[in-house]
Structure 1
Amino acid sequence: MPTQHPSVAQARTVKDHISGLIARSDEMEELPVAMRYVMDNYTLTGAERELVCATSTVDLGTCAGEWFVPPQVKPGHHIVYVHGGGWFAGSVDTHRHLIDLLARTTGRAVFAPNYRLAPEHPFPAGLDDARRAYFHACAHGPAGPMEVASVALMGDSAGGNLSAALVIDLVSRNARLPDALALLSGVVDFRPPDRMPPGSDDPTCEPTTQTKIAELYLQGVTTVDDPLVSPAAAGTDILERFPPTIIQASSDEYLRDQDVAFAAALWRLGVTVHLSIWPHLPHAFHLFPQELPEAGRAVAEIAAFLEGVEAAPVDEFASVGAQND
């Protein structure tokens, strides 16, 4: 019999860990409590996480943000990272090791907000906080106010959703757009399909769960058809202004097909897009760099994409100054 490839076995181990968390969370009556249990334990596999960056905290008023500065940093070139967690869970702490890895691999200071979470703070509170963090990173560095050369925006899962929605929000404000966008297993379409996508192996989500999440996240403020909730629903006049974008997902994820469709929509409008589908990995696999070698390679791919964007001509919209709330 053929021997199973080591990375396949490693991915299965991580998936089994996640499935166990989901099974235990199913016994919890309240969805936000269950989601916070899963997110708080999502990466607790026993692996030792590497942390190298210097950190500092900034008060943004409605929330706090944290700078991650690698030992070898490229001054004035920033990343804003919006953590995932299903709009109800997660924090800078649950994603600390991934943010640290992104900063080290890209050589950029990363600013990550602890944005307000639903259901206590429904839409658009989290999006508003992401905007505040972005505007801060457009005009400040870890040491204070400065002239910023470039800002990339990125996030995983729900953080990817907020990142793509923030681009749409910035376009509507005619504000400075990010120089690049990275969606790591990002949710771009909140409108649930009738069934799980063919070939998916993802215990973290299913259509019925998405409907419940939407009800608690939106609380009647808007609907899943709103482009600030489902970025894939944005018009062509908005999508054509998206910055160069890299989209990464696993072939097994619930959201795989929506990410592929979103990349295709941007391509058709002439936006520079790099779509990267990694086979048979768990949702938000980037959070497991010690367990899955693909996680580190995916982060290196993001770093290479950012370098390529900087080497290309500057988009005309990148020169528009940042605006405050």
Structure 2
Amino acid sequence: MATPLERLPVPVLRTVALAPFALPAAMRKRMVGAPIRMDGQQLALDAQVVLYVMKMSGRTRLVNDELAEVRAGMVLGQHMLGGPPTEPVATRDLEIPSGEHRIGGRLYTPAGLAEGSPLLVFFHGGGWVIGNLDTHDKACRLFAKYAGVRVLSVDYRLAPEHPFPAAVEDANAAFRFAAEHAAELGADPAAIAVGGDSAGGNLAAVVAVQAAADPAGPQPVFQLLIYPAIDNVTERPSRRLFREGFLLTGEDMNWFREQYVANLRDPADPRFSVFHSENVAGVAPAYISTAGFDPLRDEGEAYGEKLRAAGVAVTVNRMSDLFHGYLNFLGAGRRFREATLELASGLRVGISMALASKTTGRK
């Protein structure tokens, strides 16, 4: 059920939500209380203010309501704290075939980008249950402009209406579509990357592993994995440390899992827990960004170690002062935008280095 505050008109909600971020730092610190320190890390002040705003609005975790309201809540969050859209970036909605289905997509093209550019196929987060093209529109625009790439955002089918492996099938279909229609998308077919946040990071990693297992098919040149859900079998310390109080809770994760894989007998299935893939040698180079105050932190970093041990070029960068979902708070102060711009830089450099390595024959 919507909280009393959420019944206000969206412009009013936005004004109320953003007001604390306009205060001097000293006032914000007094408002939110003592700094939050855990596991040798200190939460950024902007992140602490977001938690304060959510608490004041009656929201302390992602899943509080019926499915329709959970989905609507994520959209509302973008209106409140997503910030203004990055411009100038042109968009075009399109359809992507996936087996007997057709799913939505949105192509982002920053002004001045030449034809034959790199392309990022992006899968949004939301536990495979919530999220859509609009909830990640601001992030895709930022990546397009500041990474100097086209972005194809994919509206894959969501659970529980379409449980596992529907999202995996759609993700693979979207990557193949991008490779086969690169010219129509204005992209270089040899410079197509995959990426996503949270559940979308899971899908991007699965696409990269499955592509590597079929060397005759198209291969992503790079993968951008943002606080990805990688291992749904092993409970590492971060799952226990941060299971309460930092947006994504342990209860939330259980709920998402029940919606997505209620029909899955083996949670180690690599299409779900990609960490348990038998062979990751030969997958695309990766940039993995984790968040310090995130239950998924340790598994993302463990996956980076696994890729590195298999000879894959990988960069693992922990945003130690942020929590899970920071990509969706670009309008909340400065720190979230700074972190996302760092991702864009990692994407730009990573694709460039991967293409240079291919040209010189190195892996």
Q: Are residues 309 and 26 of structure 1, via their aligned partners in 2, closer, same or farther at CA, if it must alter by over 3 Å?
A: closer
Distance, in Å, in 1 between the alignment partners of 2:251 and 2:328 is 25
Shift of 1:194: 7.6
Give, as a single letter, the amino acid of the residue that structure 2 aligns with 1:39: M
Distance, in Å, in 2 between the alignment partners of 1:27 and 1:99 is 27
Local SS of the residue matching 1:296 = helix
1:103 aligns with 2:144: yes
Distance, in Å, in 2 between the alignment partners of 1:259 and 1:124 is 21
Distance, in Å, in 1 between the alignment partners of 2:156 and 2:298 is 28
Local SS of the residue matching 2:322 = coil
Distance, in Å, in 2 between the alignment partners of 1:74 and 1:138 is 18
Local SS of the residue matching 2:46 = helix
Task: Give the alignment's Cα RMSD to 1 decimal.
Answer: 2.9
Local SS of the residue matching 1:86 = coil
Local SS of the residue matching 1:79 = strand
Q: How many residues align?
A: 312
Distance, in Å, in 2 between the alignment partners of 1:78 and 1:151 is 5
1:44 aligns with 2:79: yes
Partner in structure 2 of residue 215 of structure 1: 258
Q: Deviations over 1:110-140 (max 9, x none)?
A: 1111111000001111111111211111122
User: Computing the radius of gyration over CA atoms, which structure comes out larger, 1 or 2?
Assistant: 2
Q: Are residues 146 and 223 of structure 1, via their aligned partners in 2, closer, same or farther at CA, if it must alter by over 3 Å?
A: same
State the identity as a percent. Answer: 24
Give, as a single letter, the amino acid of the residue that structure 2 aligns with 1:181: Q
Partner in structure 2 of residue 65 of structure 1: 105
Which of 335, 339, 351 in structure 2 is aligned with 1:306?
351
TM-score, scaled relative to structure 2: 0.77
Task: Summarize the alignment of residues 155-194 of structure 1 with structure 2, pairs less than 5 Å apart.
Answer: 155-174=196-215, 175-191=217-233, 193=235
Give, as a single letter, the amino acid of the residue that structure 2 aligns with 1:303: R
Q: Are residues 26 and 263 of structure 1, via their aligned partners in 2, closer, same or farther at CA, if it must alter by over 3 Å?
A: closer
Which of 170, 175, 178 in structure 2 is aligned with 1:129?
170
Shift of 1:204: 3.3
Distance, in Å, in 2 between the alignment partners of 1:154 and 1:38 is 24
Partner in structure 2 of residue 16 of structure 1: 52
1:242 aligns with 2:279: no
TM-score, scaled relative to structure 1: 0.85
Structure 2: 5+ residue runs without aligned partners?
Answer: 1-24, 30-34, 36-42
Distance, in Å, in 1 between the alignment partners of 2:292 and 2:267 is 24
Does 57-66 or 16-25 show the bigger shift? 16-25
Give, as a single letter, the amino acid of the residue that structure 1 aligns with 2:143: L
Task: Summarize the alignment of residues 273-312 of structure 1 with structure 2, pairs less than 5 Å apart.
Answer: 273-291=314-332, 292=335, 293-312=338-357
Partner in structure 1 of residue 32 of structure 2: none
Q: Deviations over 1:218-247 (max 9, x none)?
A: 231443210000011111x2x112110000
Local SS of the residue matching 1:149 = strand
Does 101-110 or 300-309 show the bigger shift? 300-309
Local SS of the residue matching 1:128 = helix
The answer on whether the counterparts of 1:63 and 1:116 sit within 8 Å (CA) in structure 2 is yes
Q: Are residues 43 and 315 of structure 1, via their aligned partners in 2, closer, same or farther at CA, if it must alter by over 3 Å?
A: farther
Local SS of the residue matching 2:259 = helix
The answer on whether the counterparts of 2:62 and 2:247 sit within 8 Å (CA) in structure 1 is no
Shift of 1:317: 11
